[in-house]
Amino acid sequence: MQNSFQIENPNPSFLETSRRDFWWIEPFFTAIGLLAFVIYSTWAAFQNEHYQWESYLSPFYAPLLEYDWWPFSPAFLILWAPAGFRLTCYYYRKAYYRSLFLTPSACAVGGRPQNYRGERFLLLFQNLHRYFLYIALVFCVILSYDAYISFTFKDGLGIGVGTVIMTLNAVFLTAFTFGCNSLRHLVGGNVDCYSCVNFGHQRYQAWKFVNIFNMNHMMWAWISLFWVGFTDLYIRLVSMGIITDYRIL
């Protein structure tokens, strides 16, 4: 007999757990991934150069809003929207509540001691996720248009490595946006009886369609996050002359 202790501890100490697996791996690498993206995207937004090459435009600067009255990088005029969309996204909420706020860092692991209020008071702004969704849907169109434009070069139509990267960027961001829980709610999730309302069948089909992307929302969240940063990096390096854009066609 050993290890005498009390159970039903009303205030488990921070990170207290009986778990023996490597529960810290997921929050650790999630924190690294999120912080790396935030640091890189902030740096890239402050650069205010090397965001364009021929028909390629970095997604951090799309749509390109250059005004005389705005003395800062044009990236700051648009980045608040995708940042707000991801900040209020239900998946990212799980990711940063676990990995950055440690409430809790993993299941059955003691959370950070605090006066816990949940998503109330200041965090009520999370409920505005649907408004960021509306803007994100517009961004899907803008980035798809930029991807379309990337097929044009000085000597006519063509396909470069950057074209493929920008097209995939639009696809990944659209897949992430189409799996949004707010979109799922708005297209049909708020209906209790599809056979009782106007356009019920269409709303049911739309809800089922969004479910396809929603089931892998976390995967699309990470793929699109990584790829949007990679797209900016690729265009930046080509623009700086460090690498050459290879023409496929």
What are the contacts of 90-93 at 24+ separation with CB within 8 A?
90/129, 90/181, 90/217, 91/217, 91/218, 91/221, 92/34, 92/221, 93/119, 93/126
CA separation for the pair 216, 236 (Å, rounded): 30
Q: Does 2 bind another protein (CB under 8 A)?
A: yes
Q: Which of the ranges 13-21, 73-81, 141-149, 169-177 carries the binding residues for another protein, by CB under 8 A?
A: 13-21
Beta carbon nearer to another protein, 76 or 97:
97
Beta carbon nearer to another protein, 190 or 244:
190
Contact mark string toward another protein, 144..183, x via CB under 8 A? -------------------------------------xx-
Q: Which residues contact 95 (CB under 8 A, 6 or more apart)?
A: 30, 34, 221
Beta carbon nearer to another protein, 184 or 236:
184
**Can you tell me which of 66, 71, 120, 249 binds another protein, judged by CB under 8 A?**
120
Q: Which residues contact 168 (CB under 8 A, 6 or more apart)?
A: 227
Q: Does 31 bind another protein (CB under 8 A)?
A: no
**Can you tell me which of 194, 209, 226, 230 binds another protein, judged by CB under 8 A?**
194
Beta carbon nearer to another protein, 215 or 243:
215
Q: Does 86 bind another protein (CB under 8 A)?
A: no
Amino acid (1-letter code) at residue 190: N
Cβ atoms of 139 and 40 closer than 8 Å: no
Angle at which helices 161-178 and 217-240 cross, to 10°: 150
Q: Does 111 bind another protein (CB under 8 A)?
A: yes
Q: Does 7 bind another protein (CB under 8 A)?
A: yes
